[in-house]
Structure 1
């Protein structure tokens, strides 16, 4: 009898859409694949009354799923990579990194009926001191620096909840990841994309991570079919630089790598939490002809970027 693979996921519309994408991609390679979806509630789903940076611990949106994976209750799990700490629990591995959609942050404006516009145009249409919602310290610090007149307010909840709070008038605008809106077919809500110079995204933003147990060769071989090497190279640079900078789950650090042909670029932003000071660094490298060296080269680029920022006085808190 063919094995039935059990996949774990959070229960939000976005998490389920991401899991469905992975299952469909796997079935393109293995049409007879049998999969059962197990929904697991995480600590991040339960704690909704305060910012997660005020709560001790890490891995708020993955820990319970990883525990189920280690117990053998599921065979693999689908996460948003940016929710995952850089250090994995012993016995687990990221078997596939895939389906990176636009990694940028976006501005969603209440009552917006236009198409995606330039940032200056959208800002000119906001109230004088707009109430802008975001839950991320990284976003808040960069936005405080660039838009000191904005009233930045806490915003928690899944994509639907955040949009509902906006539409109810609790905010004039909100800042969220483009990827979540795109995956849910809600890209029409985007008023404008935020340039990386204005709001550098979190490392791994827009990437799906498929996690499995080390040693489960059947599952690992299955998941290998959806792994995307180019995404893995970008993510390697992003996660290495954040780790080298000593970034925690709630540090105000953004990192975005882009691989085009053999050209790998890495943009990194470090901000003081209050937004008073900000450090930015852009580095580029041409990768060797041999792709087997590219992950090592991505690591080097990340380390060099971290050293450059620290030498410039960047403070990570």
Structure 2
């Protein structure tokens, strides 16, 4: 095959790892295919002085990359699925989701502490409202410090600022070979993952049938079912980055188990729930759980905090 394809990606070490991983998958399935990277800096990468909730949300990491597809500068885009909004731009599609990496959160402490061993009033870093809410709901005494930047930058800031530790995605640490920084991998029962956490999203133009054909072999059916349920939950809640929320689905023997929550930014109230059902009903299950959460108090949280969010200390 002599066709050449261009992959749009952010320039962070993790984003480049992800794009190169997808390039390798494509090359292994399509011998002779030429794959190149179109490296870009997004608005989310340029504005690191404030939490995402204060500057427009997680879509800031994908908008410019999606635009490169729409205007023909790239053929494929690779994202972390958790960075993507629930509604895609017209003309673009989520063409493939490879098998999911471990979706759990990890706690990284320069002094080897675990969550249960954090001293009273400990300072913990995170760039996520979801993780902040989880921490505060368990330990209201903790001081949450905003950490922005790539994975290596956040780990370095944790040490420079003398923090007790920081919460990051296990998948990113694992992909970058930074498992040695982890002092505790947190089970979903302790820290429920974000929608799409650990999943790579491969995007292309809906009308580009040839590229869709190239990407088809990279699809993992089980991962697709899980993220279908999670993203249906997100879409129904109209969730972004201004209110803490989580959604994580597992698929076993054709059954989906979806858990989710919406919380107040200070962790004082968390509305959580779960549903189970057949894989064929993944989307409906996500909507059903969203409706349950909304009826049990999530609507009030979204209405009250949806436009303001919570800004951790910097």
Alignment TM-score, normalising by the size of structure 1: 0.91
Residue number in structure 2 paired with 1:290: none
Which structure 1 segments of 5+ residues have no match? 113-120, 288-293
**Is the aligned partner of 1:303 residue 2:291?**
no
Which residue of the partner structure matches residue 281 of structure 1? 273
State the match for 1:65 in structure 2: 65
Q: How many pairs align?
A: 301
Match of 1:33 in 2: 33
CA contact (8 A) 1:131 1:152 kept: yes
Q: Which residue of 2 aligns with 1:2?
A: 2
Which string of whole-angstrom CA distances, capped at 9 and with x for unpartnered residues, describes residues 272-308 of structure 1? 1121111111211244xxxxxx2xx001111111122
Return the offset for 1:35. Answer: 0.7
Alignment CA distance shift 1:146-1:125 (3 Å): closer
Higher helix share: 2
Measured after TM superposition, the shift of residue 58 of structure 1 is 5.6
Counterpart Cα distance in 1 of 2:49 and 2:162: 16
- Counterpart of 1:206 in structure 2 is 198
Secondary structure of 2:202's counterpart equals: strand
The answer to whether residue 169 in structure 2 is matched with residue 185 in structure 1 is no
Distance (whole Å) between structure 2 residues aligned to residue 5 and residue 135 of structure 1: 33
* CA–CA distance in structure 2, aligned partners of residues 110 and 63 of structure 1: 35
The equivalent position to 1:129 in structure 2, one of 92, 110, 121, is 121
1:144-159 pair list within 5 angstroms: 144-159=136-151
CA RMSD of superposed structures (Å): 1.6
1:242 alignment counterpart = 234
Quote the Cα distance in structure 1 between the aligned partners of 2:21 and 2:180. 21
Give how far 1:251 is off.
Answer: 2.1
Structure-2 residue corresponding to 1:116: none
Contact 1:254 1:270 survives alignment (8 Å): yes
State the partner residue of 2:81: 81
The 8 Å contact of residues 106 and 176 in structure 1, kept in 2 or not, is answered as yes
Return the alpha-carbon distance in structure 1 between the equivalents of residues 270 and 36 of structure 2: 46
Alignment deviations for residues 221-246 of structure 1 (CA, whole Å, 9 cap, x no partner): 00111011111100010010121122
